[in-house]
């Protein structure tokens, strides 16, 4: 019955990832974030919609939900599936993380709207495998700082998630299981698809610049 971990993990990941933090937070300030700026529910657009007071809890919530999904699936495995095949556990964890990103980007609670998945992906990668997560965080943060464009850092999170989990698995790094690469694939394609409009704006040199610094 170890295989049950896989659909359970995917469902938990998607449902927790679907929690539309930015939508709910900005509603507290009388704003529908979907009608502001990019229309996404992530931290950058929450900032545009209602300021830093809305952006901070949105960013925290979007990061926590993916990590919590992974932690919850691992806890359920220890509680109800003791001695489960490690391959199924790793596959369930990878799918949980990937589904959390897809839930964030296409939330069932927000009419299948959502964010771009950068913060959710970075925090979830940290929960899955801290070494990979650290690389993802640092790369994404540096590229946002260097470019002053949120979508550049967000896309980097997706690309680096895939590359890092793949390279660590190929290198037989202890704890870097091959099924975790599924998370990297889902993170990359989830973010890539969510940033369709941004990719065109970058090409046209019309993408928004962060002006906080």
Lowest mean pLDDT among 3-7, 16-20, 156-160: 3-7
Q: Is the pLDDT of residue 144 over 80?
A: yes
Return the SS3 of 85. coil
In tens, the pLDDT along 6-16 reads 999 999 999 99
In tens, the pLDDT along 24-40 reads 999 999 999 999 988 99
Mean pLDDT, residues 51-74 taken together? 97
Residue 26 contacts residue 32 (beta carbons within 8 Å): yes
Q: What pairs with residue 113 in β-bridges?
A: 107
Closest to 124 measured CA to CA, from 99, 141, 106, 149: 99
Stated as kind and residue range, the H or E segment containing 191 is helix 180-194
Q: Own/partner pairs for 161-169, CB < 8 Å, 24+ apart?
A: 161/121, 161/122, 161/125, 161/132, 161/136, 161/187, 161/188, 162/187, 162/188, 164/125, 164/132, 164/135, 164/136, 165/125, 165/129, 165/132, 168/129, 168/131, 168/132
Residue 55 contacts residue 32 (beta carbons within 8 Å): no
Mean pLDDT, residues 46-53 taken together? 93
Q: Is the pLDDT of residue 49 over 50?
A: yes
In tens, the pLDDT along 111-143 reads 999 999 999 999 999 999 999 999 999 999 999
pLDDT tier at 205 (50, 70, 90 boundaries)?
confident
Q: How far is CA 50 from the centre of its chain?
A: 22
DSSP letters, 139-175, are HHHHHHHHH--HHHHHHHHHHHHHHHHHHHHHTT-TT
Q: How far is CA 125 from the centre of its chain?
A: 8
Q: Residue ranges per domain, the chain?
A: 2-203
Q: What pairs with residue 107 in β-bridges?
A: 113
Model confidence, pTM: 0.95
């Amino acid at each position: 019955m170890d295989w049950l971990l896989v659909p359970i993990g995917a469902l938990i990941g998607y449902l927790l990832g679907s929690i539309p933090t930015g939508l709910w937070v900005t509603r507290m300030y009388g704003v529908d974030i979907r009608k502001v700026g990019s229309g996404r529910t992530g931290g950058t657009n929450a900032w545009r919609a209602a300021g830093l007071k809305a952006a901070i809890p949105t960013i925290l919530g979007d990061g926590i939900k993916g990590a919590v999904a992974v932690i919850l699936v691992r806890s359920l495995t220890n509680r109800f599936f003791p001695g489960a095949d490690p391959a199924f556990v790793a596959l369930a964890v990878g799918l949980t993380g990937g589904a959390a990103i897809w839930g964030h980007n296409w939330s069932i609670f927000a009419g299948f709207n959502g964010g771009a998945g950068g913060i959710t992906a970075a925090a979830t990668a940290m929960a899955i495998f801290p070494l990979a997560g650290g690389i993802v965080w640092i790369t994404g943060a540096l590229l946002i700082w260097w470019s002053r464009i949120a979508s550049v850092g967000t896309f980097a999170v997706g690309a680096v998630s895939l590359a890092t989990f793949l390279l660590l698995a190929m290198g037989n790094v202890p704890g870097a299981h091959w099924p975790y690469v599924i998370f990297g694939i889902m993170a990359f394609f989830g973010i890539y698809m969510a940033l369709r409009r941004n990719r065109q704006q970058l090409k046209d040199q019309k993408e928004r610049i962060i002006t906080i610094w």
